Amino acid sequence: MKITDIRYGMLRVPLKTPFKTALRTVDIVEDIVVEIHTDTGHIGYGEAPATAVITGDTHGSIVEAIAKFIAPRLIGQNIANLNRITQLIQTSLEKNSSAKAAVEIAVYDLFGQLYDAPLYKMLGGGDPVVTTDITISVDYIDKMVADSIQAVERGFEALKIKVGKDIGVDIERVKAIYAAVEDRALLRLDANQGWTAKQAVYALQTLEDAGVRLELVEQPVKAQDLDGLRYVTERVHTPIMADESVFGPTQVIELIRMRAADIINIKLMKTGGISSAIHIADIAALYGVECMIGCMLETSISVAAAVHLAVAKANVITKVDLDGPSLCAFNPVDGGVIFNESEISITDAPGLGIREIRGLERL
């Protein structure tokens, strides 16, 4: 099975409600979709969102990186040579992690198809079902409480609460949600770099003293502020998770060496795809550090790849934050993984199991 062509398209899917964080507000998912065609007629699918405020990738840069730097290296390559292909992708240019991820996902999809097996089995196997949390966007307190109650009633047992806008209001938001859901759901806070280290310690100690128990707090400080991250980790009981601070394996090693966080959030759009995500999971496992698997605003194309990875690395990926498709107004994918509120399951279809993508605008 050899690569003969790489094509692109734009996929637009409205969100059920606006997605609001300390960094941005989004109303619609607009992602670049990659199709890798082969001489056997098989097609591999990948996807990348333009998350400029986090990865630096834009729609234009994703397409340019693939068309000018990555694709020319891959034409004619045999899918069976997976390690060689992933090396070609990763060394094609610096950064551009989302572009690399989209292509890698499509390649891994084809790798599973080559051997007529679902991707998770090619990565080591596991129980093909995971349970995800759901995001509660930052908003007025009453709206966030209502959204949280609704999510619990839909069966979600973990809520990812967006904060980081205003420290005083953030504390009241969390107290109100905690009181409303009681012990029916775990609460995960995500500040999206919105606090300083001292603000984070103040907020979390205040919540802890008030009896609020949180499962974790994600990226309370700026991505580059590892000293600040460690400052927070050392001063609160609540587990601290690094997200934007960790893109690749070398950063993971440094974070673990500094003891700057308790948990690592793996996202394929940060790691540049599945190969580096595997390295991160293996490093974390060696040191006994838990990981979460997360996503940007992605549809079920790239999220499917993250689900397969989560299943195969369940020994270290103990938490799942793959609610992107659940936030979308509809699923544009025929086939792939199955989303049923908080439960995500994998079929026995080869690769990612994607048969067709509806509404794709060719570029």
The token duo for 90 is 């990763």
Residue written as token pair 């103040």: 202
What span, in angstroms and rounded, lies between the C-alpha atoms of 91 and 286? 26
Q: Cα 325 to the chain's mean position, in Å? A: 11
Point out the catalytic residue in the list 160, 267, 270, 313. Answer: 267
267 among known catalytic residues: yes
Q: Which of 59, 122, 129, 25 is nearest to 344 (CA)?
A: 129
Which tokens hold the place of 322?
């793959």
Are the C-beta atoms of residues 227 and 193 closer than 8 Å to each other?
no
Residues 20, 100, 162, 319: which is the catalytic one? Answer: 162
DSSP tag of 360: P
Tokens of 279: 């390295």
Give Cα 296 to chain centroid, integer Å: 5
Find, among 322, 349, 298, the residue nearest to 102 by Cα.
Answer: 298
CB 151 within 8 A of CB 185: yes
Please indicate whether residue 175 is annotated as part of the active site.
no
- Nearest 10 degrees: Cα torsion 35, 38, 40, 41: 30
Beta bridge partners of 357: 333
Which residues are catalytically annotated? 162, 267
